């Protein structure tokens, strides 16, 4: 409720939520102590446990390379692939906790260029198929991760603007900037966890479908001024803002914002949002 009223910042909430394993340990220890010792001793013990958990969090953050300004041990690798005679291409992107950037440019004879920085020991997977499908994947570490793990990880992908693209991106728990404004974009699919993403869309040619799904997501979608747009909500608690109009609360199946000229427009953007707790802004 506080989130939907705008009293909570979602990016802050998602970072705090990353510490849930330590909070569970604290709660379990308190339950074990409660009822077995005096109230005064239980209170003192709970206070000591809180202090220990806070010290553990601070020590963990301080021990992460790069979290305190010290240079960490990381490795940067560059990749590229030939444009050849392709008439269209597809990007399949799957990254974990990282700083993500995607843009487009005139790359000459290259189809794409990528620069990936990861902690030493982690290795990305980057491939290009004969059909023009580019796969970029970074390790997705399982289990508990310190919230600042992604400070060492960076993924930069530049796509050729000589041909149309479809993009399927799983952004994990990323902080990302996808500048697709100069790209010939046929379709965009975004799936993420606790992400903070900025996406700039190009002028559509026909109907440009944009699908958004995932969990705790903060997303800003910017489209060119004057482009007719439909935004459909398909479940989950969503805080949606479209051109300054706010739609808060639990979305009903099929609930939608439709701009006045959408039905008759030839070039338009169709955005579908299917996610859990999300904060989505669509603007020009």
The encoded tokens of residue 77 equal 């690798």
CB–CB of 141/147 below 8 Å?
A: no
The count of C-alpha atoms lying within 13 angstroms of the C-alpha of 259, restricted to the half-sphere facing its C-beta, is 22
Contacts of 121 (CB under 8 A, 6+ apart): none
Per-residue pLDDT of the chain (284 residues; tens, 9 = 90+): 444 444 444 444 454 555 556 566 666 665 665 656 566 666 666 676 667 666 665 554 444 444 444 446 899 999 999 999 999 999 999 998 899 999 999 999 999 999 999 998 899 999 999 999 999 999 875 444 444 444 579 999 999 999 999 999 998 888 999 999 999 999 999 998 778 999 999 999 999 999 998 877 889 999 999 999 999 887 665 688 899 888 766 555 567 889 999 999 999 999 998 877 678 899 99
Which alpha helices (DSSP H) does 64-132 contain, by range? none
Instruction: Dig out the tokens for 247 from the structure.
Output: 């739609």
The whole-angstrom distance between residue 106's C-alpha and the CA centroid of its chain comes to: 26
Helix (H, G, I), strand (E, B) or coil at 123: coil
- At 197, which helix (H) or strand (E)? strand 195-200
Cα gap 284→160, rounded to integer Å:
24
């Amino acid at each position: 409720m506080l989130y939907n009223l705008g009293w909570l910042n979602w990016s802050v909430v998602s970072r705090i939520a990353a510490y849930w394993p330590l909070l569970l340990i604290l709660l379990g220890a308190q339950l074990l102590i409660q009822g077995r010792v005096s109230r005064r001793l239980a209170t003192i013990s709970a206070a000591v446990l809180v202090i220990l958990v806070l010290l553990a969090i601070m020590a963990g953050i301080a021990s992460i390379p790069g979290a305190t300004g010290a240079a960490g041990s990381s490795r940067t690798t560059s990749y590229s692939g030939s444009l050849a005679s392709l008439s269209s291409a597809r990007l399949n992107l799957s990254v974990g906790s990282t700083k993500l950037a995607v843009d487009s440019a005139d790359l000459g004879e290259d189809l794409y260029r990528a620069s990936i920085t990861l902690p030493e020991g982690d290795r990305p997977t980057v491939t290009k198929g004969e059909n023009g499908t580019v796969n970029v994947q970074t390790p997705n570490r399982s289990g508990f991760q310190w919230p600042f793990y992604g400070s060492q990880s960076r993924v930069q992908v530049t796509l050729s603007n000589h041909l149309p693209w479809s993009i399927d991106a799983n952004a994990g728990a990323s902080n990302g900037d996808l500048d697709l404004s100069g790209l010939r974009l046929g379709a965009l699919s975004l799936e993420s966890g606790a992400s903070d993403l900025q996406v700039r869309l190009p002028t559509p040619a026909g109907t440009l479908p944009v699908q958004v799904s995932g969990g705790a997501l903060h997303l800003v979608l910017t489209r060119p001024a004057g482009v007719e747009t439909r935004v459909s909500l398909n479940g989950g608690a969503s805080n949606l803002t479209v051109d300054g109009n706010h739609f808060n609360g639990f979305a009903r199946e099929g609930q939608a914002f439709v701009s006045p000229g959408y039905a008759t427009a030839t070039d338009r953007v169709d955005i579908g949002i299917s996610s859990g707790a999300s904060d989505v802004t669509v603007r020009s």
